[in-house]
A and B are shown apart, each in its own frame.
Chain A
Amino acid sequence: MGKLRTLTRRTFLIGSAAIAGGVAFGAYMVMRPIRNPLLDGLAEGEAAITSYIKITPEGITLITPRADMGQGAYSIQALLIAEELDIDPATATITPGAPGPAYYNAAVLAEGTPFPAYDTSTLAETVRDFMSVPAKLFEVQLTGGSSTVPDSYTKLRTAGAVARETLKEAAARRHGLQRADLNTEDGHVILPDGARIPYTELAGDAAKLEPVTDLELRPAGRWKRLGHPQKRLDMVAKCTGTETYGIDLKVDGMVHATVRANPGIGGGIERLDSAAAEATEGVMMVLPITSAVAVIARNTWSAFQGANALDITWGPAPFPADSARMFEVLEEALGNEDAFDHCQRDVGDVDAALQDGTGLTATYRVPYLAHAPMEPMNALVTVTETYCDIWTGTQIPLFIRNRAAEMTGLPADRIHVHVQKMGGSFGHRLEMTHVEQALEIAIALRGTPVKLVWSREEDMTHDYPRPAAVARGRGRVQDGKVESFDLAVAQSRMTSGWFTRLAGMGIPGPDATITTGSWDQPYAIPNYRVTGYRAPDMVPVSSWRSVGASSNGFFHDCLLDELIHEAGADPLAERIRLCLDDTSRKVLEAVGELAQWTGPHVGYRHGRGVGFCMSFGVPCAQIVEVTETPDGIRLDRVFVAVDVGQVLDPVNLEAQVTGGVLFGLGHAMNCELTYADHAPEQSNFDSYTGLRLYQVPEIKVKALSNGPRIRGIGEPAVPPAAPALANAIFAATGQRIRELPLNRHVDFV
């Protein structure tokens, strides 16, 4: 308890840096308070008590700096503030705010620390907390890594509580009362005689006060909104066609643009003939830009038509031409000492242990995957002599602001990034190539707003995909138990290339994503080793929903399943026996109860597979049930148990979990980017689909709240789905599939 309190206190200090006027934490840069950006441009009678809440006589505005890609971040952030502020979030204006250092993300780097998430030792917790320091220094305002809720949970409730208490203090002074005697409800301070003063009337007084910071957050048992089923604030707009996404924006005088870039990313343009494009109806001009050709037109469709008419010979990309060679490169790195990257799990004596008992060796592979959100990348940009406006759906507004400042030569405070609602992301919007292209065009057409829209084909073939990876698993079993487990994974680096694109500098040292989702699993196998090997950079790659765990969950859990089978043990019981983390064990037990587990074989050609992965600190277990029909494998049912520490909105949690499971299953079944002649062979949803409605199984979800920390749920349901399905297919058919997508080996109905 003592430790927990220290942590909460520290989080509180960081979260309220802008409020309290300084934090005693480490170096000077970290101590320096971050300016509350809302203080700029306040009028008389308006208050911005914290960086997250602005109150004017007209109403209340909540700033929700983490981007909404569909995961519900917009609603959940508003809800966290509203719970303590005592307002109905539906009555407030909610905006992502202008990007700024006050909104840095402390949680996103915490998962990169060399401690598995179930390790709550003082050292692990201290290092995790310390990661908020670089997050602040480097102004890491990004949305990702399922970090929105962990990062916001205390910060935003604190912001709400500080504002509430300061408003109460203002009312107390006005009426000569004690703050402790006042209450709040629905946007009003309630006086002891029952009189109700709207917050909006108190804003002017509150602005003159030092914010009240000696306060305690309400315990979960007293929550009125959090923890109860919620209606998402964006639901009505999204069901009536009235939500505005980046792709829907229009400003006066705007021109439309699209680009055609080399699908062999990094290969140049050898020859360009733009005559036919220029002659296309509606096309205004063709403009070669850095490593792409832009077509500017009167409307998007004409721009697409013009781009189709471009005659371009591309230069070869700086990576192998086809998938076969790419997998050879990965396999050459696997187990190769020169390619050794890291080994964060090495328990017992694996080499010696592999000599005894019955053993197996298996190799696995997973493909490159596109993110393919439903809304293709787009950006609307205006560049003038004095300012630059960028409207785009993005997870990385500060990186975009900085890049725009470099490209335009304008000071950063003249760059305005307006974060838009997003039609999905899955990690795609952690990149900004499309924004750089729009900036380049807008600089060339200075003064004219340029709206750049990628065609689906451009989007899918210029994605920075999830890296392909290969793994070799070995293990031994004895007396019905898994005794040794040795997994080696090879992949190209992911984080460094991504950061180079964003910030112009790589990240030195090992790339943890190579083994994230396998080295950090909560099992007590007596001889247990996971080693990462770094293959040479090939196709430039990026984070894809659940990042390293998207591949490693498959590798680790398939190997474990094979070993358990080899041992003759029950897939669920043996995982439970091996599990060393209480929270995870309860999740495994819960999924068994939910499914009424009796073993992998449920009938003739009818089987069940278990999948488990702890990612982003969230243990998630799944049981997939399939039947082998004469036409192929049918998905019957999926059971899921998950623990996020504290459920904030059970309705949205269920949506994220079922969505994550189906996202994981769909890609495992039928998605891959294969390469030929340096380019992806899949360019649209005809050849890269995921799940469609007719294939959707029945899904039951059980959410537990035993975990020690609150966690995000946008990603952790993805990794266990693929291994659970592969393991189910084995149970139903006896066929072990060690490669994704599974439809390389079986048909699905």
Chain B
Amino acid sequence: MQASFTVNGTPRQIDVPEDMPLLWILREELGLTGTKYGCGVAQCGACTVHLNGEAVRSCQVRASDLEGAEVTTIEGIGTPENPHPVQAAWIETQVAQCGYCQSGQIMQAIALLQEFPVPTDQEINDAMSGNLCRCASYPRIRTAIHLATSRMGGR
């Protein structure tokens, strides 16, 4: 099937099977490999992107859901030269170990801070516990979220 949608503000047209997940469309059709495959079944969060402003697991979004949608990936929120404040907090806190889960962690954290600019630990737990980190960088993820909060005008 064909679909037209935007990714990081750029209009894209695709022609793929209708049940092909957004994850693989991004990675292999559009060449945006910052979004990662970890489980394919909504259990790890490595594939998290924003769909119309909400954090979603891109492994669960089908091509048939994409017509007219606005998708934002890790590549669309900041660059090495000009990182998003949440990315900057991640870098300053030295969060990543293998780093494979971190695109998803960061996309989830940005969505959290959009909803709760000054999240409580409970709100962080609720929002972030779907994102696995097998290297267990969790303490620094929490620290970086608090740091980003203060940077972004929160507490």
A interface, CB within 8 angstroms of B:
69-72, 231-232, 234-245, 247-248, 250, 256, 281-282, 299-302, 304, 372-376, 421-426, 453, 455-456, 651-652, 655-656, 658-663, 666, 684-686, 689-694, 696, 699
Chain A residues contacting B29 (CB-CB under 8 Å) are 299
Q: Is B55 an interface residue (CB 8 A)?
A: no
Most central of A250, A281, A424, A663 by chain B CB within 10 Å? A424
* Distance, CA A192 to CA B139, complexed state (A): 49
Write 26 A-B pairs (CB below 8 A) sorted by A numbering: A70-B96, A71-B97, A234-B96, A235-B91, A235-B96, A236-B83, A236-B91, A238-B96, A239-B83, A242-B34, A299-B28, A299-B29, A372-B134, A373-B98, A374-B44, A375-B36, A375-B38, A376-B37, A423-B36, A423-B101, A658-B139, A659-B137, A686-B43, A689-B43, A693-B128, A693-B141
Whether A375 pairs with B100 at a CB distance below 8 angstroms is: yes
* Distance, CA A372 to CA B83, complexed state (A): 30
* Distance, CA A238 to CA B105, complexed state (A): 11
Q: Given contacts A651-B94, A684-B41, are A423 and B83 in contact (CB under 8 A)?
A: no
Whether A248 pairs with B33 at a CB distance below 8 angstroms is: yes
Whether B33 pairs with A240 at a CB distance below 8 angstroms is: no
Chain A residues contacting B80 (CB-CB under 8 Å) are 236-237, 240, 242
Q: Given contacts A244-B33, A299-B24, are A426 and B134 in contact (CB under 8 A)?
A: yes
Q: Is B78 an interface residue (CB 8 A)?
A: yes
Nearest first, the 9 closest Cβ-Cβ pairs linking A and B are A241-B34, A70-B98, A423-B100, A238-B99, A241-B74, A662-B136, A238-B96, A248-B33, A694-B125
Whether B28 pairs with A256 at a CB distance below 8 angstroms is: yes
Chain B residues contacting A690 (CB-CB under 8 Å) are 132, 134, 136
Chain A residues contacting B99 (CB-CB under 8 Å) are 70, 234, 237-239, 243, 421, 423
* Distance, CA A318 to CA B91, complexed state (A): 48
Q: How far is the CB of B93 from chain A (nearest CB, A)?
A: 9
Whether A658 pairs with B31 at a CB distance below 8 angstroms is: no
* Distance, CA A656 to CA B140, complexed state (A): 12
Chain B residues contacting A684 (CB-CB under 8 Å) are 39-41, 43
Residues from 96 to 112 in B contacting A, C-beta threshold 8 Å:
96-103, 106
Contact partner, A422, options B21, B31, B95, B98, Cβ 8 Å: B98
A-B pair count, CB < 8 Å, reads 185
Q: Is B149 an interface residue (CB 8 A)?
A: no
* Distance, CA A666 to CA B97, complexed state (A): 17
Q: How far is the CB of A249 from chain B (nearest CB, A)?
A: 9
* Distance, CA A456 to CA B23, complexed state (A): 14
* Distance, CA A376 to CA B103, complexed state (A): 16
Whether A691 pairs with B138 at a CB distance below 8 angstroms is: yes
Contact partner, A239, options B23, B37, B95, B136, Cβ 8 Å: B95
Whether A241 pairs with B35 at a CB distance below 8 angstroms is: yes
Whether A455 pairs with B98 at a CB distance below 8 angstroms is: no
Q: How far is the CB of B143 from chain A (nearest CB, A)?
A: 11
Chain B residues contacting A299 (CB-CB under 8 Å) are 24, 28-29
Most central of A423, A425, A693 by chain B CB within 10 Å? A693
Considering only CB atoms, which chain B residue lies closest to A281 in the complex? B17
Q: Beyond the given A241-B33, A374-B134, A423-B101, please list 20 additional residue pairs across the A-B interface where CB-CB is below 8 A.
A: A70-B98, A232-B94, A236-B83, A256-B28, A282-B17, A299-B24, A301-B21, A372-B134, A374-B38, A374-B101, A424-B135, A455-B40, A651-B94, A655-B137, A690-B132, A692-B130, A693-B141, A694-B125, A696-B138, A696-B139
Chain B residues contacting A248 (CB-CB under 8 Å) are 27, 33
* Distance, CA A662 to CA B139, complexed state (A): 10
Chain B residues contacting A71 (CB-CB under 8 Å) are 97
Contact partner, B124, options A422, A651, A691, A693, Cβ 8 Å: A693
Chain A residues contacting B131 (CB-CB under 8 Å) are 693
Q: How far is the CB of A423 from chain B (nearest CB, A)?
A: 3
Chain B residues contacting A692 (CB-CB under 8 Å) are 129-130, 132
Chain B residues contacting A658 (CB-CB under 8 Å) are 136, 139-140
Whether B97 pairs with A659 at a CB distance below 8 angstroms is: yes
Q: How far is the CB of A597 from chain B (nearest CB, A)?
A: 22
Contact partner, B78, options A240, A652, A656, Cβ 8 Å: A240
Whether A374 pairs with B36 at a CB distance below 8 angstroms is: yes
Most central of A250, A256, A685 by chain B CB within 10 Å? A685
Contact partner, A241, options B24, B41, B75, B130, Cβ 8 Å: B75
* Distance, CA A248 to CA B21, complexed state (A): 17
Q: Is B69 an interface residue (CB 8 A)?
A: no
Chain A residues contacting B34 (CB-CB under 8 Å) are 240-242
Chain B residues contacting A426 (CB-CB under 8 Å) are 134
Chain B residues contacting A231 (CB-CB under 8 Å) are 91, 94
* Distance, CA A243 to CA B41, complexed state (A): 24
* Distance, CA A231 to CA B92, complexed state (A): 8
Chain B residues contacting A372 (CB-CB under 8 Å) are 134
Q: How far is the CB of A57 from chain B (nearest CB, A)?
A: 26
Q: Given contacts A300-B28, A374-B38, A686-B43, are A241 and B138 in contact (CB under 8 A)?
A: no
Considering only CB atoms, which chain B residue lies closest to A301 in the complex? B24
* Distance, CA A39 to CA B60, complexed state (A): 51
Q: Is B20 an interface residue (CB 8 A)?
A: yes
Q: Given contacts A241-B103, A685-B39, are A301 and B124 in contact (CB under 8 A)?
A: no
Whether B132 pairs with A240 at a CB distance below 8 angstroms is: no
Most central of A70, A238, A240, A666 by chain B CB within 10 Å? A240
Q: How far is the CB of A71 from chain B (nearest CB, A)?
A: 7
Q: How far is the CB of A185 from chain B (nearest CB, A)?
A: 26
Chain A residues contacting B140 (CB-CB under 8 Å) are 655, 658
Q: Given contacts A235-B91, A684-B43, are A689 and B31 in contact (CB under 8 A)?
A: no
Whether B139 pairs with A423 at a CB distance below 8 angstroms is: no
Chain A residues contacting B41 (CB-CB under 8 Å) are 456, 684-686
* Distance, CA A241 to CA B124, complexed state (A): 22
Chain B residues contacting A655 (CB-CB under 8 Å) are 94, 97, 137, 140
Q: Given contacts A240-B87, A301-B20, are A72 and B97 in contact (CB under 8 A)?
A: yes
Chain B residues contacting A693 (CB-CB under 8 Å) are 124-125, 128-129, 131, 138, 141-142
Q: How far is the CB of B146 from chain A (nearest CB, A)?
A: 13
Residues from 55 to 73 in B contacting A, C-beta threshold 8 Å:
73
Q: How far is the CB of A545 from chain B (nearest CB, A)?
A: 10
Q: Is B120 an interface residue (CB 8 A)?
A: no
Chain A residues contacting B125 (CB-CB under 8 Å) are 693-694
Most central of B38, B83, B100 by chain A CB within 10 Å? B100
Q: Given contacts A241-B35, A299-B28, are A663 and B17 in contact (CB under 8 A)?
A: no
